[in-house]
Chain A
Amino acid sequence: MAEPEDRGTPNANHVVVEISLSIVSPEALLKTCYWFSRDYVCEVKKQTESVATVLLSPRTVTQEFTPNSIRDAFLTSALDFALREKIEAKTSGIRDLLLAKAFSESGVLEDEPEGVFGDKIEESNPDSMFKILSNPQR
C-alpha cells in the first residue's frame, strides 16, 4: 500500500491516491469510492495490472480542504473493505450454514440447501450438539 506522504500529487483542487491492487481488490476500491462519492468525484484509473490511481475532486470547495487527511481516510477505508473481503471469504460457508440452520427450523426453507455443508471440527466431535454435518454427496 502506498504511503500517504510520498505518493500522489495533492493540490488545492484534488487529491490523488495510488492503490496497490494486490492489496485492495478493484471491488473493494469501488466500494470505497462509493462512500466517498457524496463529497468527492472519484476518477479511477488503472495504471498497471497491479496499480490503480484515484483522483478525488471535492464536489464543493471548502476552506477545510486537507489533502493528507482525505488521502488517509480513503486509504483506511480501502483497507477496511479489503479486510471485509477477507472475512467474507473465510466465513461465507459457515454463514450459509448458519442461515440454513436458522431458517430450516422456521419452516421457511422447503428444499434442502444446495451444496455440501459441514465443518471438520464439528464432524470430528461425536458429541457435537451442532446437528448439521456434511450432507450426503449427491
Chain B
Amino acid sequence: MARTFYPHEHFAPRPSTFNLLPFKFTRLNEKELLVNEAGEFLFAPTGTIQLLTDQTIDTASELYRDLKAKHFLYDDTSSPLLDVLAAKIRTKFDHLNGGTKLHIFVVTLRCEHSCHYCQVSRQSASRGEFDMSQATADRAIKLMMDSPAREITLEFQGGEPLLAFDLIQYIIPRAKQQAREREKNLDIVVCTNLACITDDILLYFRDEGVKVSTSLDGPAFLHNKNRPRPGNNSYEKAIEGIERSRAILGFENVAALMTTTAASLDYAAEIVDEYVRRDFHSIFLRPISPYGFAIKTRHRTGYQMESFLKFYKAGLKRVLEVNRSSYRIAEAYTQILLTKILTPHSTRYVDMQSPAGEAWSVLVYNYDGDVYASDESRMLAEMGDRTFRLGNVHKDTRRTIFTSDAALRMFQASATQSLAGCSDCAFQSYCAADPVYHYATQGDIYGNRPTSGFCIRNMEVIKELFALLEQNDHETMRIFWSWITGKSLQNEAIECA
C-alpha cells in the first residue's frame, strides 16, 4: 500500500492511456521489486512488469494507483507529480553540490601499534622524516579552503596523528582563521588509537572543539589480538582513553569504529555487546579493507566476502535485538543504506556515492604533500602504486587536481549509470562503484561486478534490508526510522509505505 490519501483524481474516470516512467527492477522473495530514478520502491506481484510493458495493467486496480503514486507511471492526471519526481532526483544527487567537504591530513606515518590489518604502511614511532612539514600543511590548508564547500571537515589521520601533536596545534588555528575569513563552517576530527592521549591534549581539543574518533574492535581478547602493541594492552588503553575523552570532550564528541578481521567473524554478538557495554549508540560493522598492511597479512586477517556477510547479518540481528530491549544503537552501514532507500536524501558517506565520492567529496593530503583521491588510494601509494595520485600541494591548484588524468579517469569509472553490471541494477540509486577498490582487488578501475567483493557485499546487504522492509514489522520499522531521523526509539512509529 503506497497511499494513505486519495487525491481528487482518484474519483475521476479511469485514464484512457498511461506512460511508463523510468525504473529498474529485480526479483526478490517471489515478488518484483521496482525502483525508480529517485530511489522510490514498490514490491509488486510477479507479472507486474510484463503487464506494464504490454500496457495491459488494469487502470482501475489498486496496483495501478500504487504504481502511479510511487512514480512508476503517469497519466493525464499526473502533471504535478512529475515536477515532484524531478525534485526528488535532484535531491538524490545532492552530494554533488558544493565541492569537496572532507579533507584528510595525514600528519605522520609514525605509529606505536603494529596492527595486523593496518591499512597504512606505518613507520616506527621515532622516524621524524615521515611527518608533514609546516610548509606542506600551509599549502594543504589553502587547497582545503579553496573548495567551494561551505561545510568543511578537517580530519587528522596517520599513522597515529597524536605523535605529531605539535603539527596539529600548528594547523588548527590557521585552518580556523582561514575558515572565518572565507565564511566556512569547520569541523575537526582526530582519528587516534588514544594510546598517547593525555589530559593536556584533551583540554586543547575541548577548547578548540575537536572531536575524537577511535578504534574499538570488540572485547579485550579480540581488540588486543587485532591491535598488538608493547604491553599487549591496546584494549585497556583504548577504554581508558575513551573514558577520559568523554569526561573532557563530552560524550557525543567521541566515536569508535571497528574493523572485522578473520578473528572477529565468530563474535558478531560479542562485538555488538561490547559497544553497548561501553555506552556507544552507533556501531559500524566494517569489512577489512584490501589495502596497505592488510594485503601483506591477508593469510591471517583476510576472509571471503561471504564470511563477512554472515558476520554482518548476525551483527545486525544482534543490534536489532538490543534496540528491541530499548537501548538505541544504530548499525552505521544499515543506517546509510536505509537513508538512501527510505528517504529522498543522499548521504555524506563517500564510499557509496556515484560518481565516486573519492576526489569529488574527499581529498587526502599525505605527509609528503601528495594529494590522493581517498584514504584507500593513499594506501595504495604507500604500497608503491600511485595510480590515484592527483597531484602535490606544492605544485598543483584545485583546478589541476580535479582535471588531472587520475581524477577524470576515476570520475568516468565510477558513474554507476554507465557501468557494466550497474547500469541495469535495481539497486543503482543506493549503491556506488568504488574504482579504487576494484583496481586494488581486480586490477581494473571499472571492475567486474559478478566477482566483485564490493558488489557481492552491497547486493546482499541491500537484499537483506529489502527483505526486512517487505516484512514491514512495526517494531523493526520503528527502529529503522529512529536510526534515519536520529530520534529516540519512542518517537518513531512509521511503517514502510
Chain A residue with the shortest CB-CB distance to B71: A98
| Nearest chain B residue, comparing its CB with the CB of A119 | B19
**Given A91-B22, A121-B75, A130-B79, residue A83 in contact with residue B90 (CB < 8 A):** no
Which of B49, B75, B89 is close to A83, meaning CB atoms less than 8 Å apart? Answer: B49
How far in angstroms is the closest Cβ of chain A from B304?
13
Complex interface: chain B residues within 8 A of A37 (CB): 448, 450
Query: Is the Cβ of A38 less than 8 Å from the Cβ of B93?
Result: no
B420/A34 in contact, CB under 8 A: yes
Chain B residue with Cβ nearest A79? B50
Which chain A residue lies CB-closest to B23?
A87
Is B421's CB under 8 angstroms from A35's CB?
A: yes
What residues of chain B lie closer than 8 Å to A38, measured between beta carbons?
A: 450-451
Do B23 and A98 have beta carbons less than 8 Å apart?
no
Per-position contact with B for A32-59: 1 when CB-CB < 8 Å, else 0?
A: 0011111000000000000000000000
Complex: how many Å from CA A87 to CA B75? 16
Enumerate chain A residues within 8 angstroms of B26, measured Cβ to Cβ: 80
* Cβ–Cβ < 8 Å partners of B96 in chain A: 108
C-alpha gap A36/B22 in the complex (Å): 26
- The answer to whether A98 touches B86, judged by C-beta atoms less than 8 angstroms apart, is yes
The residues of A that contact B82 with a CB separation of less than 8 Å are: 98, 101, 122, 130
Structural contact, B93 and A92, CB atoms closer than 8 A: no
User: How many angstroms between the C-alpha atoms of A131 and B84 in the bound complex?
Assistant: 12
Contacts of A124 in B (CB 8 A): 76
Q: How far is the CA of A119 from the CA of B82 in the complex (A)?
A: 11
Residues 81-115 of A, flagged 1 when their CB comes within 8 A of B and 0 if not, give 10110111011101100110111011010000000
Once the chains are docked, how many angstroms separate the CA of A24 from the CA of B347? 37
Q: Which residues of A contact B421 (CB under 8 A)?
A: 34-35
- Tell me, rounded to whole Å, the shortest Cβ–Cβ distance linking A64 to chain B: 16
Closest CB in chain B relative to A63 CB, distance in Å: 18
Kindly list chain B residues whose C-beta atoms are within 8 Å of the C-beta of A95.
22, 37
Question: How many residues in B have their beta carbons less than 8 Å from beta carbons of A?
Answer: 37
CA distance A39 to B335 in the complex (A): 32
Residue A128 is within 8 A (CB to CB) of chain B in the complex:
yes
**Residue of B23, B79, B89 most packed against chain A (CB within 10 A):** B79
Other-chain residue from A91, A106, A127, A128 in contact with B97 (beta carbon distance below 8 A) = A106
Q: Is the CB of A86 within 8 A of B19?
A: no
Q: Is the CB of A86 within 8 A of B75?
A: no
B468 close to A (CB within 8 Å): no
How many residues from A make CB contacts under 8 Å with B?
37
> Does more than half of chain A's interface fall in helix, strand or loop, or is it mixed?
helix
Question: Is B37 a contact partner of A83 (Cβ separation < 8 A)?
Answer: no
Q: Which B residues touch A69, using CB under 8 A?
A: none
Rounded to whole Å, the gap between the CB of B354 and the closest CB of chain A is 14
Taking the closest CB of chain A, its distance from the CB of B434, in whole angstroms, is 18
> What chain B residues lie within 8 Å of A106 (beta carbons)?
90, 93, 97
Query: Which residue in chain A gives the minimum CB-CB distance to B52?
Result: A87
Mark out the residues of chain B between 91 and 106 whose CB falls within 8 Å of any chain A CB in the assembled complex. 93, 96-97
**Which residues between 66 and 93 of chain B lie within 8 Å of chain A, taking CB atoms?**
74-76, 79-80, 82-83, 85-87, 89-90, 93
Are A87 and B420 interface neighbours, CB within 8 A? no
Are A92 and B424 in contact, with the CB atoms below 8 A? Answer: no
Say yes or no: B20 contacts A131, CB within 8 Å: no
Does A121 lie within 8 Å of B76, measured CB to CB?
yes
Contact yes or no, B49 A105, CB < 8 A: no
| CB <8 Å contact, A87 and B22 | yes
Tell me the complex Cα distance, A99–B418, Å: 15
Q: Are A128 and B79 in contact (CB under 8 A)?
A: yes
In whole Å, how far is B433's beta carbon from the nearest beta carbon of chain A?
Answer: 15
Q: Which residues in window 304-347 of B have CB below 8 A to A? A: none
Q: Which of B13-37 contact A (CB under 8 A)?
A: 17, 19-27, 37
A94 touches B90 (CB 8 A): no
Interface residues as binary, B425-463 with A (CB distance below 8 Å gives 1, 0 otherwise): 000000000000000000000001111000000000000
Cβ 8 A contact of B23, one of A91, A102, A125: A91
Are A34 and B450 in touch, CB under 8 angstroms? yes
Q: Which residues of B contact A121 (CB under 8 A)?
A: 17, 19, 74-76
Q: Is B53 interfacial (CB 8 A cutoff)?
A: yes
Would you give the shortest CB distance from A43 to chain B, in whole angstroms?
Answer: 16
Contact of A94 among B22, B83, B449 (CB under 8 A): B22
Are A122 and B424 within 8 A (Cβ)? no
Distance of A38 Cα from B23 Cα, bound (Å)? 26
Identify the interface centre among B17, B22, B53, B448: most chain A CB within 10 Å of its CB: B22
Tell me the bound Cα distance from A4 to B337 in angstroms.
Answer: 38
Q: Which residues in A have their C-beta under 8 angstroms from that of B449? A: 34-35
Q: What is the distance, in angstroms, from A83's C-beta to the closest C-beta of chain B?
A: 5
Q: Are B87 and A87 in contact (CB under 8 A)?
A: no
- Also in contact, A129 and B80, with CB within 8 A (given A38-B450, A99-B89, A102-B89): yes
Residues in chain B within 8 A of chain A (CB atoms):
17, 19-27, 37, 49-50, 52-53, 74-76, 79-80, 82-83, 85-87, 89-90, 93, 96-97, 420-421, 424, 448-451
Counting from the closest, the 9 A-B pairs by CB-CB distance are: A38-B450, A101-B86, A95-B22, A91-B22, A102-B90, A102-B89, A128-B79, A129-B80, A102-B86
**Cβ contacts A to B, 25 pairs, < 8 Å:** A34-B450, A35-B450, A80-B25, A83-B53, A84-B24, A87-B25, A87-B53, A92-B22, A94-B19, A94-B21, A95-B37, A99-B37, A101-B82, A101-B83, A102-B86, A102-B87, A103-B93, A106-B93, A108-B96, A121-B19, A122-B82, A125-B76, A128-B79, A129-B80, A130-B83
Sample of 7 more A-B contacts, CB < 8 Å, known A35-B450, A95-B37, A108-B96: A80-B27, A84-B25, A94-B22, A102-B86, A102-B90, A125-B76, A129-B83
